[in-house]
Amino acid sequence: MGFSGELRDCAAAIWTASLEHPFVRGIGDGTLPLERFRFYIRQDYVFLIEFSRVLALAAARAADLDAMSRYASLLDATLNGEMELHRGYCERLGIAREELEATVAAPTTHAYTRHLLAVAYAGTLGEITASLIPCQAGYAEIGRELATRGEPASQPLFGEWIRMYASPETQEIATWACGLLDRLAAGAGAEERDRMAEIFVMSSRFEYMFWEMAWNMEQWPI
């Protein structure tokens, strides 16, 4: 088992809680209220903007051309692929482009993206990679698991979401990121590996909190 697998095992309870969260289960069986999905899509769009900044910083920190190229490709795919899909979802859900672009980050979205950006500005490439994998591999795992349960016939939009994250492209990204983390961990000292583990668990917690935020349609209290 590589280092990424060890970290996945350390955060197993958190990842299981995310997979079994009522928001995720509601996507899988088609029972999630559309209003909650609308809230999620808008917050995820805001998240992806900051996620893209982290990918750009990861590409700049890469010490070899392969990692630099892959992170640059992921940046392009996020900005011009995944975010465009979100715009398409919003159009079909009755959310105008102006409304989407004006979305204010909810408290958890703000906190999660600040965590990622702090790691990206101050951390090593290994630490940045560790911070991103709970999102990249977590969505791949959720998409794969929901696909095995069957798409909800009652809600085709959720079926499209499941197919996107169960796709071979998403699975390959997760596999690549985990392989990169294994390689970087092999050349890192004990202190850096400890930081990677701490960051990985924190991002895993934020992934769970993001589902919780969307389920509760979290707002700023004041």
Active site positions, annotated? 135, 207
Count the Cβ atoms, other than its own, within 10 Å of residue 44: 18
Q: How many CA atoms lie within 13 A of 33 on its CB side?
A: 7
- Residues 6 or more apart whose Cβ sits within 8 Å of residue 132: 51, 54, 55, 58, 116, 177, 203
Q: What secondary structure, in 3-state letters, does 88-133 show?
A: HHHHHCCCCHHHHHCCCCCHHHHHHHHHHHHHHHHCCHHHHHHHHH
Reduced to 3 states (helix: H, G, I; strand: E, B; else coil), residue 204 is helix
DSSP letter for 53, please.
H
Computed over its alpha carbons, how large is the radius of gyration of the chain?
17
